[in-house]
Structure 1
Amino acid sequence: MATQTSDLLAAAAPRTVAVVRQISDDQLDLPTPCQDYQVRDLLNHLYEVVVNFQALAGRSPVTWADKPDHLTDGWRDRFETETGRLVEAWSDPASEEGVSPGMGMPQPVVGAMALLDLTVHGWDLAVATGQPYEPAPEALPALHELAAQLAPTARQMGVFGEAVPVDGTLSELPRLLGLTGRDPAWTPR
C-alpha cells in the first residue's frame, strides 16, 4: 500500500540518498548552511531523523537526546536502507491517522516534517559539498504550506532561522529555503 506521505517520501528520498552517497570522508568537516552544523553533524542529525520518524509513523516513542555517531563503517549504505524503511513505515495507511502521541500533531504533519528534513537537508548537504540538488517537484507545494504553518513555532524553538527575503519570482526551492531561514545563495566560505 501507499499513502500520500509515502509517495512524497519515495520521490524525495532517492535525491537525498544520492547526495549522501557522494559525500567523501574528507568533506565531513565542511561548513553547511545550518550555522551550528558541519557536514558530519548534519549527516548524523538527518540519520537520526530518518530512524526516529520510522518509529513516529507507528506512534512509538522516540528520544532525541541520544546523539550517536552514525558515520561508522558502511554508513552510506545504512542511510539508504534506513531511508527505505522510512518510506515503508509511512506506507501504512494507519500512519496518517490521528494525532502523534509524542509530537502532539496530526500524523500527516509529522510525516511531512520528515519530508521537509529530507528535502531541505538534502539541499544543505549538496550545497556544502559542491553537488547539484533538485528536489522532488511534487513535494514542494506541500512543503511550502507546512513550512509556513510551522515557521512561528519552529523559529521560537530554534529549528528555523529568521526568514530570508527571497525574490518571489524565483523557483519554489529558493522560496522554501528562505522560509526555513536559509539563504538560497549560500556558498561555503
Structure 2
Amino acid sequence: MNDTISKLLEAAADRTVTVVRNITDDQLTAPTPCAEYDVHALVDHLFQVIVNFQALAAKKDSDFGAAPEHLTGAWRDRFADETVRLIAAWDAPGAEEGTSGAMGMPARTVGAMVVGDLAVHGWDLARATGQPYEPDAALVGMLGAEFGALAPTARKMGVFGEPVPVGEDAGPFEALLAMTGRDPGWSRP
C-alpha cells in the first residue's frame, strides 16, 4: 500500500464512513469505548476533526474550540463528503511537507494523527453500534510507529488514556487500541 497520508486516509475512511452510514438514530445515545463520548458526541467530534484537519493540511490554523452541531439533516452523507474533502486536502502537493498550522508539528505527524482519529474512532463507533471493523494492515503498521512516538505527549495532553495491558497474543490493532487507552475487548453494556 502507498503510505502517503491521503492513501492511508482512504483506507481508514473506507471503513469508518461505512460504520457512520450504518448508525441508526436510536444508537446515538449509546456509550462508546471512548468514555467521555456517547455515539452522538463522538460522531460530532469526528466531524470537527475531519473539518479542522482539512485546514491543517493546507497549513492554515484550525478551530477546535468551535462546537457546531453536525448531526442534523443528511449528516451521514455530509460525513462522507467531508471525509472526501479531507483526503483531497492531504493529497494536495506539499500537504505532507513542513509544519501544519498552529500545531507547529511536522505535517506528516499531523496527518498521521487524523488517520489515527479516523481509524480508532471508527473502531469506537463500530463497537458502540455492534458493527464489524477491521482496519487495513499497512495503516495499523504506520499508526503503531507514529503513535508509539506520540503516546507520552498525547497522554500529557489528555488525548490518550493510560495504556491498557493486553496479552502477548494481542494483534497489532489491539496493541494500538491499548496504547491509546482503550480496552480492545470493550463491548456494549
TM-score of the pair, normalised by structure 1 = 0.96
Deviates more, 1:21-30 or 1:149-158: 149-158
Partner of 1:142: 142
Pairing 1:34-183 to 2, within 5 Å after superposition = 34-183=34-183
Q: List runs of 5+ in structure 1 lacking aligned partners.
A: none
Cα distance in structure 1, aligned partners of 2:146 and 2:74: 33
Equivalenced residues, count:
188
Cα distance in structure 2, aligned partners of 1:139 and 1:169: 20
Deviation string 1:125-169 (CA, Å, 9 cap, x unpaired) is: 000000000112210111001111111111111111100011232
Partner of 2:28: 28
Where in structure 1 do 4 or more consecutive aligned residues deviate above 6 Å? none
Cα distance in structure 1, aligned partners of 2:121 and 2:137: 16
**Identity over the aligned pairs, expressed in percent?**
55
Cα distance in structure 2, aligned partners of 1:8 and 1:36: 27
Preserved CA contact (<8 Å) 1:168 1:175: no
Letter in 2 for 1:22: N
Please state how far the C-alpha of 1:3 moved relative to its aligned partner: 7.2
Deviates more, 1:24-33 or 1:95-104: 95-104
TM-score of the pair, normalised by structure 2 = 0.96
Preserved CA contact (<8 Å) 2:127 2:187: yes
Q: CA RMSD in A?
A: 1.2
Question: SS of 1:102's equivalent?
Answer: helix
Cα distance in structure 1, aligned partners of 2:100 and 2:131: 35
Q: List runs of 5+ in structure 2 lacking aligned partners.
A: none
Deviates more, 1:113-122 or 1:100-109: 100-109
